[in-house]
Structure 1
Amino acid sequence: MTSEAITVLGLGNLGRALAEAFVRAGHPVTVWNRSAAKASGLAATVAGSAAEAVAASGLVVVAVLDHQAAQEVLRGVDVRGRALVNLTSGTPGEARELAEWAAANGADYLHGAVYAVPQTIGTDASSIIYSGSPAVPERWREPLALLGKVTFLGADAGRASGYDVAILSGMYGLLGGFLHAAALARAGGIPVTELTPMLLSWLEDLQPALTTFAEEIDAGSYDNAESSIAMNRSGVATLIRATEAQGVPFAGLDALQALVDLQIDSGHGEASLSRVVESFGLVSQGLAGGQQEDRQ
């Protein structure tokens, strides 16, 4: 591997871990952060400005707080001829916006979503999905591989963020469910440490059902219902009564029941539970209609 210069903009927990991975591999690394003190102890050149840092390297990795911060850091900076790899969390639209800005300013843009905690950057436990300019992962394949497993999803810069927000929504939904389960366990005098192995075992058993649901959703075919909406409506309603009786109601269950009810009210009670995904579109249309009425 050649020791090509690399720049890292942002030295929060993630940014510092990225810089350290490049340093360990022998790359000359230039860093910039609003607070230069964050670079203390890091074997890298500390630039006096973001513009100076970008000028130092062909590969520039951005890891700041949010999309607005990324815009502010790059505003007015000469990025011509640079490969910009943005690992800042944001929406698909925001990723595409930065990609358009980069292209207009002579840079190649790659957007990434990190699936690792900072401590695992550069190990087998780290993986990063990317989308955007194909030239970047081709030209800078080896440095990017230092950070974790590389998966390239195509030229649409927003695609990686599209995956990311969907995956994170699933993650936070799972965490919310776990915390509610823990609250129910405590209310019933059950140690959470005893509940958790049983919960994990049940979640593992659900994996085949999720795979089936995914196939049904992609095909738009919900007729072969092993788990119907009507049957699950009864189960959710019972669970809501039980949680209220134990003094730990959860708005997430109420929201799920509302989505289920939309399908039953539309005559789809005997369809597969996966058909509830269509309720999100109905809710969106309802919100759009309500906003339109407010403007009239």
Structure 2
Amino acid sequence: MRIFLAGASGAVGRRVVPALTGQGHSVVGLTRNRSSAGRIEASGATAVLGDVYDAAALAHAVAAARPDVVLHQLTDLGAGDRAANAKVRVVGTRNLVDAAKAAGVRRIVAQSISWAYEPGTGPATEDTPLDHHGAPDRLATVAGIESLESAVAELPEWVVLRYGTLYGPGTWYEPGALMADLARAGTLPANADISSFVHVDDAASAALAALDWPRGAVNICDDEPAAGHQWVPVFCAAVGAPEPARVGTERTGWARGADNTVARKELGWVPSRLSWREGFAGL
């Protein structure tokens, strides 16, 4: 299978490239960083330097690759800039989808998130509506996700991977990264908000598996949604931060975690780290 991977040098993309080539796929990996091209090539793929905001150049790159599938793992989180990440979800996705359509690509697999659902009780399923009633910053995040997912769904065959919070090498949740710094500063709250996590290796395994999945959105997270009261102390211990103070007793309505039943029971994807507990222990 010929695959065009946008975001080949990101936390998930850099794991997906060698896995794809190891399975015999022909991979063209898009990166905007010249320093990442060598790693992509060393994994057996073809590296293409480009910027997803340059629509014409992106269209040319996709057409030249003649892919059977476009794999969208675009993010812009390196500097902790959520506005930049929202932009790549909206503008970058739009350009990538347009390029795929122009090249006659029928199938796309794209990265999304599993915490854009509306408030409710219990972990959210894929049938739970997105949240259109939050604070302005929350609404901006949800609007970016909605834009991404609606654009992706313009192709005949599409899969949206609604990842839980990514942790592990190359993410915000590893020693020396953003959340570890906050934990050491005592500003990562151990509150009642519930999160669902997924190790970056498991996110990559889902991206590979999704090449053959039926169309639709799928929650990709581990088996244990947990409140900050539970996971923050474990994360702090894992990254050498002091014991956090427990704060609050009421969770934010939308901070409910996500249900992975569809991925596990219907599609056969099982995370190698069944819980963030074992995952954090390996950081």
- Classify the TM-score, shorter chain: 0.3 to 0.5
Higher strand share: 2
Larger Cα Rg: Structure 1 or Structure 2?
1
Higher helix share: 1
TM-score computed with the length of structure 1 as normaliser: 0.44
